[in-house]
Amino acid sequence: MIRVNVNRNPSGRISSFTMEGHAEFAEHGKDLVCAGATSVSFGALNAILSLTDAKLGIEQGEEGGFLRCIVPENLPSAEADKVQLLLEGMLVSLQTIEREYSKHIKITFH
């Protein structure tokens, strides 16, 4: 199962998220849950890196199955708003996948 842990600060902003595990929906290379979750998360991070000046803390597992992103606390307000919008969009997409494939992906908020 893919486990997504989302951490929010007291104001409700996403401060970090971790995605780990494997969906095990289908064999490697044919797993649409894994492909969808990976595309959504990496797409959001690539959008943040391309469209903002934010320097995210990103950590990946060498063989897949692990992604961590930490949002810097000291972003200017306009940059922070852009980052949050893109991360919230990522969550909407991941929650859509979770609704259809809840045996293979679980999102938890802290």
Is 34 one of the annotated active-site residues of the chain? yes
- Choose, from 28, 34, 69, 104, the residue flagged as catalytic: 34
- Choose, from 22, 28, 104, 110, the residue flagged as catalytic: 22
Element spanning 80, H or E: helix 77-100
Is 22 one of the annotated active-site residues of the chain? yes
What the block records as the tokens of 101 is 């494939």
In single-letter form, the type of residue at position 97 comes to: I
What the block records as the tokens of 5 is 């842990």
Q: Which residues are catalytic?
A: 22, 34
